[in-house]
Structure 1
Amino acid sequence: MVMGFAVLYNLFTTLFGNNDSSTASEPSIPNPIPILDANLTASVCGQEVSCCPYTRYRSLDGSCNNLENPGWGTTKSTYMRLLENRYSDSIFKLPRMDTGDNMPNARELSIRLFKDKITYDIELNVNGMQWGQVITHDMSKLEEATDAAGQTLVCCRNGKLTSEVLTNEFCAPVIVPYNDRVHRPGSCLEFVRADTDRHIGCVSDDQEANQLNMVTPFMDSSMIYGSTDEESNALRSFENGNLETVTRRGREWPPQAQDPEETCEGDALPGEPCYKGGDTRINQNTELSVLQVLLLLWHNFIADGLSEVNPQWDDQTLFQEARSIVVAVLQNINYYEYLPYLLGEKNMLDNKLIYRRTPANIREYINDYDPILVPGVIMESATAALRYFHTLIQGYLLKKFEDRSDAGEIRLSEWYNRPVVIERNNTFDQLVVGLTAQSASATDPFFTVEVTEYLFRGMKKVGRDLRTVDVIRGRDMGLGSYQQARAACNLTVPRTFEDLRGIIGSNFIKILRRQYQDVSNIDLTVGGTLEIHVPGSRAGPTFLCIMLAQFYRTRVADRFWFENGIDEYISFTPDQLASIRGVTMASIFCESTDIGTIQPAAFEVISPDNPVVSCDVIPSIDLTLWRDDGTEEYEAQQDQSAKGVCAGRK
């Protein structure tokens, strides 16, 4: 007998504590959420932009997406702050509790609240876990501060505090608590705070600090193409619109990073591959590297296909047209195939993140681009809500043969920043199959020790703790409290620990009561992680509200969003749009690898409702719809690129 999702969910939450039999009512959110189009702003700290060429292609650095405010959405803009900051001096100093005491030790919170328990998501596979990191890397990247010489800032070395702690306000190492069985009590765990607009002179010293986003906030596939012209040019082959690859043992791989010691494990063997990609985090973990390789190869697949259809196109046209297709397809996959698993399809429909599709409207545009809405990444989303999904991480990655039988496993912590493992024998194809065949961990307050005890351990016995980093990063950014966030989302606001009953499991409330002096002190990262999920989603109401606001803004504030048809010069034709909407994640797997079979819903585990099928029946994009027949209409369109729109940055 197969147990239903609701039965299994209740079983797991009863066993593992993210539920409470005395809950007053099901958790829910107001629809639409009150912060959907909140009037948020971001400081523009990058290069001044005043004149925009009228081009059919989006820029690499995000400039000129908004023609009236061409600096909006550029690299090095600040994250957006939804809630009032909690800096203890209202400017930059780390938050304190209402009494003035230090906040609870982040490592102790991790030990007591975020334990390692084996749970499985009965629907999502490991690809469903890993794809979330691809999306966040596309939109968000902090940069840690450096020392006075511009070198890596070291605040904790070999478990001991350095002299930098006394003088450098970017040092915030975590002291290991007495009950830590992994690290020596009293030693330290490294943490360096992120660069801000205040520290690079973008705002005055007496203004609140806001952290810089080193990539564009748009969903523009910057993890493939980079976020500046210089980065992009370093990735291109300048032949046939392709991105550069190198060939080893008959297979194409990303090129070697220029400074491998900066992005790969320093203790690795000399000569090991260390990939160069649009995002420097390409080597961070094994499955992320696999997906980055897939996306590079899929770009080249599209560029080569366009070249066959339009042999007269030059390298630049092929590259830009392929890039626009890749960006559009990934936007479609993200919103219509992936995010519904996390946010719930109904919640996305109710808040107009997506619209219901039918055969009758598959060719229609969605023309709700809002030039008044400032594009950006909400720091409460990037630094708290989205980090919750670290819970999905599996500590051991299964390798599978084409018939889905076992081919071994890889321990996550043994290969951080060492992509060489995916090039060994047939490991790449086996990991691709394993991505789609292995269940993700369940979304709950439990996290594998591979990220809470062995993160980036290199050749050492133990490593860092991702949950500790998540908590202290929220404090680094001065995030508003859990209580503030619930108020902003028009949810019930707990005033006492008893008020948390029905919102958070009772066993967690006991721990929170011991760690925090008052409900008002609870970190957003902590409280949101412990909430009971809204039915149909994989998050509690606070995180769900914040993420819905983020992904509404991501779509509606992007002039180049693939469904926008207001400007026919930059939009896809209705037939092209329909073809893009038909491409799925399974399509990318089939067209970028040597596997011959896959389940149609590539973020879900294999099941009777999602059986393995031949790649021959998986839909593919129809590139003949991009055929350039040399008509006067097409040539006139191209001529418009000479026009420009000039506007002062506002």
Structure 2
Amino acid sequence: MRILSLLFLACISSTVLGQINDTTRQIVQEALFEALNSVDSAFSSEPSVADGEIVSSQIANEESKKLQFTGDVLEVATQLLVQKYGVGILPAANQVLEELNAGETASRKKRSVDSNSDEDSEDDSTAENFVAGLRQKRQSRGKRQGGGGGGRGGGGRGGDRDQDGRKKRNSGEITPGGPGSTEYSNPTSNQTCQGPPKSCSDPVHDRIRSITGYCNNRGKPTQANSVTSIRRLLGTTSYTDGLGAIRSKSVTGAALPSTRLISNKLHDEGSTPNFSPSVNHLHMQIGQFIAHDIIFMPSSTAKDGSSLNCTSCSSPTTVSTNCAPIPAPADDKYFKPVSSSEARCIRLTRALNGQSGFGVRTQIDQNSHYLDMSAVYGSSDCEARTVRSFSNGLLKTNTASGYVLPPQAPNDTNCQSKNPYYCFTAGDFRNCLHPGLLPLHVIFIKEHNRIAAKVKTAQPSWNDEQIYQFVRKIMIGQWQHIVYNEYLPKLLTDKYLTDFNLKTMKPGSGAFRGYDAGMDAALSGEFAAAAFRFGHSQSRQDFARQDAANKTIGAYDLGYNIFYSDQVYQKSLGGWETMLMGLIKTAAMTVDRYFSFPIRNQLFEIRGKNASGVDLIAVNIMRGRDVGLMPYVKYRSLVGLPAVNTWNDMSSTFSAANLAALKTVYADPADVDLYSGLVMETPLAGGQLGPTASWIIAEQFRALKTGDRFYYENQVTNTAAFTPDQIDAIRRVKLAKIFCENTDIITTINTDMFDLNSSQVACSSIPDIDLRLFF
């Protein structure tokens, strides 16, 4: 113990001096070796999961999977160091990690030069470098020269790095494009997934928003990119050990209630659904499309990259420490005990560990964090290729059903529908999560192709890449305008829209001058894992279809159609267009603490297998604990609400009935989970949400607006912004017109697309975007 104490003092001393010594290096490397052995050997016989056996919407892509092993090793190494030496060693440990990574980078570059190979390529991932470096060191323990590796934050993703310490993208050739633009060299479907140039000073980054978000912020090129970390509003977490252990104890010392128990007692709508008197179901659906644009928090995977089977209550000890199953009460009416001797748990896999150095467990967003239509265009360069036709700037479609749909995806193992009702390929693989989502994918694919056809006619000499980038820029501009001008005003009060600068400017008022390179546009965990999940309360059990005469012609049940696409193929019922009409013409559920039966019981359920799915609300609450969100009361200070010491301190923002309900579940107000607290606040007059949820959402959309160099209203130096006339053309765009232009059955439409009681107007009376202003 005396030796360990001396080593600890040595580490602290070197940290204070801003230097590290050989003792520190040895301590850190020993911890890394031990962690590597631990992660390598843990759960060597993980239960395999057959394709389709477990349905999930948060499947990690290859880049995310490569990060996980590194994150898991760093998590275990952090625990080892803290147990032996305390948290004071962590700054020095991260210095060692950076040093090791610098040595490995130099070694890799030398090997590349010696072998005349391109070892420093984008495909040579950080996680592989990190593990390879550690394993090489493990084989030659006596060597201390640099050659280890690092996680994303502890030196980046391997190879050439930007000032954030993260890997830069591969360079791509450029060629002159259309007026006012510069494109990548014209790609073909046979080319590799080549990204934009590495240097943010390259003129390509003046003109084109990258698919991943790279170089949007020139000073911090990887900020808010796909596969990068979320941020935390309070700068801290609720982890029991301060590192990654899920909060499980009340402030009283008793166990926190199971999140399924919370769901049963607080969030069951019962037999009397509450429908909104003024907001239609389309508002919910557009909200989900926004979420799929900017939020994708992938789940942890097994060592072979497959889904973890976290169904068993014992899975954290028998399958993976990344399992966090939710116990169902013994008297649960839907998730009944497996047997008289075996309790039932609702499966939950922890969000993938994107830990970037020694310290706290961190989650990532697999999508680009920006509002950039990732659901249409993808969030990786490979995803972007899969949706393009590489002809005349068009996106791929399939018309075998007699109307336009995205291309089929027969190899989608998550899809429960089989031949001939395959699911589809789109920018976001969740496009078939439920049938009501697919119409929006089709609408925006068709809108892209509609504009592309007009551009080809107007500019016949332009090649595919020029047309694609030109149309994509306009499409993203239209989308951002719809979100800020139509969607958010139906959600937030005018005060929040004003205070957070979320209002769009009127035509003729010039450009927006509020771009702030110091604004971090990355998603907050509070937004992604709690506040923006309010829309689950809006979702109905029944999704109606309506025909051109506004006559209801049937409905489908949400719980019976999660990752089933056969409803979309029902040509006799009007295909996806009557589903879209149903969204416009039927009421959403009121945003409150109550959720429909499918949302609480049947998400991802396989037809004919009751209780094979999950309770989304129990998952939402548990996800908050998983990612370390602080309890609800900690966030009230952000809004200026009074501190909470007793239940009565919450009376100004909760109804008496909701407070009474909370007391039946939680032992102390300091225990209340953020998600339940947010949906149980009394909504503000003129909005759908309470003050804390409104603040978290408004803060995020402010970051997405002012922190986005390519935001459509911007005029930023060295960025090919829209001209004032072009900005005004986009400001006149209405979602209604996009629906009119891309459907056959809509001839009259709402003047307010999200108002259930909206007056109607002829489609022909709504002006189309004037593309002449863009040439």
Amino acid at match of 1:365: A
Which residue of structure 1 aligns with residue 457 of structure 2?
Answer: 308
2:610 is aligned with 1:461: yes
CA contact (8 A) 2:642 2:649 kept: no
Mean CA deviation greater in 444-453 or 246-255: 246-255
Tell me how far apart the structure 1 counterparts of residues 153 and 275 of structure 2 sit (CA, whole Å): 41
Change (3 A) 1:417 1:113: same
Give the count of matched residue pairs: 570
Per-residue CA deviation, residues 120-146 of structure 1 (Å, 9 max, x unaligned), is 212211111110011111111011111
Deviations 1:490-543 (A, max 9, x none): 211221012222321222222322322221111111111110011111111111
| Cα distance, 1:164 vs structure 2 | 5.0
Match of 2:582 in 1: 434
- The aligned runs of 1:127-146 (5 Å cut-off) are 127-146=282-301
Q: 2:772 aligns with which of 624, 629, 635?
A: 624
Matched, 1:181 2:326: no
- The gaps in structure 2 that reach 5 residues or longer are 1-151, 158-165, 169-197, 338-342
- Contact kept in structure 2, 1:257 and 1:275, CA below 8 Å: yes
Partner of 2:623: 473
Q: Aligned equivalents of 1:146 and 1:398: distance in 2?
A: 36
Spell out, residue by residue over 1:348-405, the C-alpha distance to the aligned partner (whole angstroms, 9 max, x if none).
Answer: 1222122553x542xx100110011122001101111111221100110111111111
Match of 1:87 among 225, 239, 242: 239
Write the mapping of 1:110-259 to structure 2, written as runs, cut at 5 A: 110-116=263-269, 117-156=272-311, 160-161=312-313, 163=315, 165-166=317-318, 168-185=320-337, 186-198=343-355, 202-204=356-358, 207-257=359-409, 259=411
- Post-superposition Cα deviations, 1:282-341, rounded to whole Å, max 9, x if no partner, equal 110111111111111111111111112211111001000100000000000000111111
Question: Is 1:612 aligned to residue 760 of structure 2?
Answer: yes
Secondary structure in structure 2 of the residue aligned to 1:613: strand
Deviations, residues 55-109 of structure 1 (Å, cap 9, x unaligned): 2110001101011221212111111111220000111110132244332110011
**1:260 equivalenced with 2:412 (yes/no):** yes
Displacement, 1:269? 3.2
Query: Are the aligned partners of 2:410 and 2:422 in contact in 1 as well (CA < 8 Å)?
Result: no
Matching residue within 544, 559, 568 for 1:398: 544
Deviation at 1:617, TM superposition (A): 1.1
Task: Determine whether 1:527 maps to 2:677.
Answer: yes
Identify the residue that residue 569 of structure 2 maps to in structure 1: 423
2:544 maps to 1:544 = no
**Residue 599 of structure 1: SS of its match in structure 2?**
strand
- 2:299–2:349 contact (8 Å) kept in structure 1: yes
More displaced stretch, 571-580 vs 497-506? 497-506
Q: Distance in 2 between matches of 1:619 and 1:121?
A: 30
Structure showing greater radius of gyration is 2
Is contact 1:596-1:614 (8 Å) kept?
A: no
Counterpart position of 1:29:
none
- Closer, same or farther in 2 for the Cα pair 1:271/1:260, shift >3 Å? farther
1:503 corresponding residue in structure 2: 653
SS of the residue aligned with 2:262?
A: helix
Q: What TM-score do the two structures reach when normalised by structure 1?
A: 0.85
Match of 2:733 among 572, 576, 583: 583
Distance in 1, matches of 2:452 and 2:208, equals 15
Following the alignment from structure 2 to structure 1, what is the Cα–Cα distance between the partners of residues 459 and 719?
19
Q: Which residue of structure 1 lines up, in the alignment, with residue 668 of structure 2?
A: 518
1:197, 1:203 within 8 Å by CA — same for their partners in 2?
Answer: no
Q: Which moved more, 1:483-492 or 1:567-576?
A: 567-576
Indicate conservation of the 8 Å contact 1:286/1:422, yes or no: yes
Deviation at 1:473, TM superposition (A): 0.5
Letter in 1 for 2:401: R
For 1:480 and 1:230, the matched residues in 2 are separated by 36
User: What displacement does 1:569 show?
Assistant: 4.7
Equivalent in the alignment of 1:59: 210
What is the CA deviation profile of residues 264-284 of structure 1, one whole-angstrom value per residue up to 9, with x for unaligned ones?
11xx33332210111111110
Where does the alignment leave 5 or more consecutive residues of structure 1 unmatched?
A: 1-41, 628-650
Give the residue type in structure 1 aligned to 2:515. Answer: Y
Asked whether the 8 Å contact 1:62–1:216 carries over to 2, the reply is yes
Aligned counterpart, 2:111: none
Report the equivalent of 1:386. Answer: 532
Question: Which SS does the other structure have where 1:443 is aligned?
Answer: coil
Distance in 2 between residues matched to 1:240 and 1:234, nearest whole Å:
16
2:257 corresponds to: 104
For 1:307 and 1:620, the matched residues in 2 are separated by 18
After the TM superposition, which of the residue ranges 369-378 and 250-259 deviates more from structure 2? 250-259
In structure 2, which of residues 144, 167, 186 is the aligned counterpart of residue 48 of structure 1? 167
* Matching of residue 294 in structure 1 with residue 443 in structure 2: yes
Cα pair distance change 1:299/1:108, threshold 3 Å: same
Establish whether residue 366 from structure 1 lines up as the match of residue 512 from structure 2.
Answer: yes
CA contact (8 A) 2:279 2:756 kept: no
SS in structure 2 of the partner of residue 565 of structure 1: coil
Supply the distance in 1 between the matched residues of 2:481 and 2:296 (Cα, whole angstroms). Answer: 22
Taking structure 1 as reference, are residues 579 and 501 closer, same or farther at Cα in structure 2, changes over 3 Å only? same
Counterpart residue number, 1:317: 466
Partner Cα separation in structure 1 for residue 379 and residue 762 of structure 2: 36
Structure 2 residue 721 is matched with structure 1 residue 600: no
User: Among the aligned pairs, what percent are the same residue?
Assistant: 30
1:162 deviates by 5.3
* Aligned-partner Cα distance in 1 for 2:432–2:401: 20
2:592: which partner in 1? 444
After superposition, where does 1:478-493 map in structure 2 within 5 Å? Answer: 478-493=628-643
- How far apart are the structure 2 equivalents of 1:58 and 1:417? 31
Superposition map of 1:26-45 within 5 A: none
Alpha-carbon distance, 1:177 to partner: 0.7
State whether residues 258 and 276 of structure 1, in contact with CA within 8 Å, keep that contact through their aligned partners in structure 2: no
* Contact 1:140–1:213 (Cα < 8 Å) also in 2: yes
User: How far, CA to CA, are the matches of 1:129 and 1:248 in structure 2?
Assistant: 29
Q: CA offset at residue 148 of structure 1?
A: 2.3
217-226 or 498-507: bigger deviation: 498-507
Q: Distance in 2 between matches of 1:620 and 1:103?
A: 55
Separation in 2 of the partners of 1:73 and 1:623? 31
Confirm or deny that 1:277 pairs with 2:426. Answer: yes
State the distance in 1 between where 2:504 and 2:733 align.
17
Q: Is the 8 A contact 1:400 1:433 kept in 2?
A: yes
CA contact (8 A) 1:126 1:393 kept: yes
1:26 matched to which residue of 2?
none
- Superposition deviation, residue 43 in structure 1: 5.7
CA distance in 1, matches of 2:362, 2:474: 34
Q: Is the 8 A contact 1:438 1:605 kept in 2?
A: no
Change in Cα spacing, 1:113 to 1:58, as seen in structure 2 (3 Å) is same
Given candidates 195, 202, 225, the residue that maps to 1:74 is 225
The residue type paired with residue 105 of structure 1 is S
**Within 2, Cα distance between the matches of 1:605 and 1:397?**
17
